[in-house]
Structure 1
Amino acid sequence: MSTTVAATNAARTSSPARERLLQAATDLFYNEGIHSVGVDRIVEVAGVTRATMYKHFAGKEGLVLAYLEGEDRGLRSLFAEAAQVSDDPDVLLDLVVAGIEQDIRDRHTRGCPFINAAAEYPSEGPVRELIADHREWFRGTLRQLAEGAGLRDPDEVAASLVLLRDAALVGGYLDGQDRVGPAFARTARDVIAAARRG
């Protein structure tokens, strides 16, 4: 077994120490930036040793990847929860818009974690690949919902909703969630309504 495979397997083994490390990294990376936070700070906040960190993660980049994978899982779970409420594509689209608005207000108040990470990792590599995969999934899922709802040009609808979410997450941080959240929801619903006409 290669060192990389062993590190990946170790990273997936859940333990209280691993969860503390991941929570500390998630909070610090999102609130302070990835490159500005060192390993020493993460292990101090998590209350573990460096050896424990390296037992669970393949260095800092492994921790960054786990942080972004957690963000990806969180958004996917929102879609899964919406699908449990209804299988009507029109209802699902409205639930997605409402969920993104709530996310802007309550959770991602300092911008999009994927956009923030992309700004810190401008070159190709595992972090940018994970970000690209996440965005492709998000765009593709919105496209499927738009197509299921019978909207005209579902690719364009999905692209518009992704763009609006990106702008709203950044705008919410700069201009305040109470101003931007409702503007996002109103504009997203306008895009959907326009795609129903004609």
Structure 2
Amino acid sequence: MTVDSPQPAVQRLPGRPRADQTTPGARARVLTTADRLFYDEGIRVVGVDRLIAESSVTKATFYKHFGAKDTLVLQFLAGRHDRDVAALAEIVAASSDGRDAVVRFVDAAVARMQEPGFRGSAYGNAAAEFSDPTHPARVAIAEHREWLTDALVDLFKNAGHPMPGDAADDFQLALDGAQIGAYAGDAIAASAALRRTTERLLSA
């Protein structure tokens, strides 16, 4: 009887990184996973072990890139903020005037609120999970809201509103309420209410 020779074990080339340790692949996978899980399920309930498992990285790789979960939370918020900044810049660039920019901004907000996986504002949800106003996550959320307020002031100023600061505050409060209403109640009703508020502000 002939005995087959054993196949040689597959080995990595010396010095070649494991697939889960490539950069930016591993880091990007963790960020993508965190963005999905933190938004869909909440920050506190999602543990590091689950983030590691669903990102297909090792624990060593996770801690190499982020050090701690709090760092990942801040990067999750920063990523959301950067996307919002880029989205608003695209809206302004595509608009014919200030009023059109406000309307396009509302259109984009309404489209998000009516998506099947909408869970409200990522920033509002995160703020509800961190009661300490001095926590770095709360500081990041406050900075995002300050940016949004300033951006809204510019939008309403360009739309010719006589009191753009007040209009920005009114609109932001309406947007906050609409996002909660769309998630917890009727997205169509919340969207219609936001549009009515916007029309009133633009007619001032």
Give the TM-score normalised by structure 2: 0.84
> Which whole-Å CA distance do the structure 2 matches of 1:176 and 1:56 have between them?
40
- Secondary structure of the residue aligned to 2:114 is helix
Aligned length: 182
**1:63 lines up with 2:72 in the alignment:** yes
Is 1:43–1:53's contact at 8 Å kept on the other side of the alignment?
Answer: yes
1:146 aligns with 156
Structure 1: segments with no counterpart, 5+ residues: 1-12
Letter paired with 1:76: V
Q: Match for residue 190 of structure 2?
A: 180
CA contact (8 A) 2:120 2:180 kept: yes
TM-score normalised over the length of structure 1: 0.86
Aligned to 1:95: 104
Greater than 6 Å deviation, 4+ residue runs = none
SS at match of 1:81: helix
In 2, distance between residues paired with 1:127 and 1:87?
Answer: 36
Q: Which has the larger radius of gyration?
A: 2
Q: Any idea what SS the aligned residue of 2:45 has?
A: coil
Secondary structure at 1:163's aligned position in 2?
Answer: helix
Residue in 1 aligned with 2:3? none
CA distance in structure 2 between the partners assigned to 1:14 and 1:179 by the alignment = 45
**Aligned residues: CA RMSD:** 1.7
CA distance in 2, matches of 1:170, 1:17: 34
> C-alpha displacement at 1:108, in angstroms?
6.6
CA deviation vs aligned residue, 1:2-44 (integer Å, no higher than 9, x gap): xxxxxxxxxxx96111111011111111111111110001011
Aligned with residue 46 of structure 1, among 32, 55, 78: 55
Q: Which runs of 5+ in 2 are unaligned?
A: 1-21
Q: Is the Cα–Cα contact under 8 Å of residues 171 and 197 in structure 2 kept in the other structure? A: no
Q: Does 1:133 align with 2:139?
A: no
Measure, in 1, the Cα distance between the counterparts of 2:195 and 2:55: 37
Map Cα deviations across residues 46-105 of structure 1 (whole Å, 9 max, x no partner). Answer: 111111111111310111011111111121121111122125111111111111111212
1:37 aligns with 2:46: yes
